[in-house]
């Protein structure tokens, strides 16, 4: 979502699900919603309502309720300055090379905690 406003159901979920499939696992929509919510909470991303009419963008306070699949694609997310700085600071954790191939030594780290 670092180059445009992105909607969970229109862009984020399909793109993440495709990458996860390439890496050998699946992801649920609820996991994406939770992760985006954490980005909003941490100040790395803000939520917006987009419209074809003025005002074209309306910033929303916090994480909006997006538990149900949006059919009209009104709720979008965009990185803050802090989020963009983080995105540009270190990409060594990415599982893909510059040609979008899965890195040969990439593996999913086991969950931490209990």
Contacts of 57 (CB under 8 A, 6+ apart): 5, 48, 49, 50, 51
Closest CA to 51 of 15, 69, 76: 76
Per-residue model confidence (pLDDT) at position 109 = 62
- For the chain, the structural domain boundaries read 8-89
**Tens digits of per-residue pLDDT, 16-56?**
999 999 998 899 999 999 999 999 999 999 999 998 899 99
**Tens digits of per-residue pLDDT, 81-100?**
999 998 888 877 788 888 88
């Amino acid at each position: 979502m670092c180059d445009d406003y992105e909607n969970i159901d229109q862009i984020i979920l399909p793109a993440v699900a495709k990458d996860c499939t390439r890496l050998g696992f699946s992801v649920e929509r609820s996991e994406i919603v939770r992760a985006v919510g954490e980005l909003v909470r941490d100040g790395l991303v803000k939520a917006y309502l987009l419209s074809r009419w003025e005002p074209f963008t309306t910033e929303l306070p916090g994480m909006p309720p997006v538990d149900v699949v949006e059919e009209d694609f009104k709720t979008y997310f965009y990185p803050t300055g802090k989020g963009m700085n983080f995105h540009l600071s270190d990409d060594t954790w990415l599982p893909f090379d510059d040609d979008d191939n899965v890195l040969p030594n990439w593996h999913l780290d086991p969950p931490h905690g209990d």
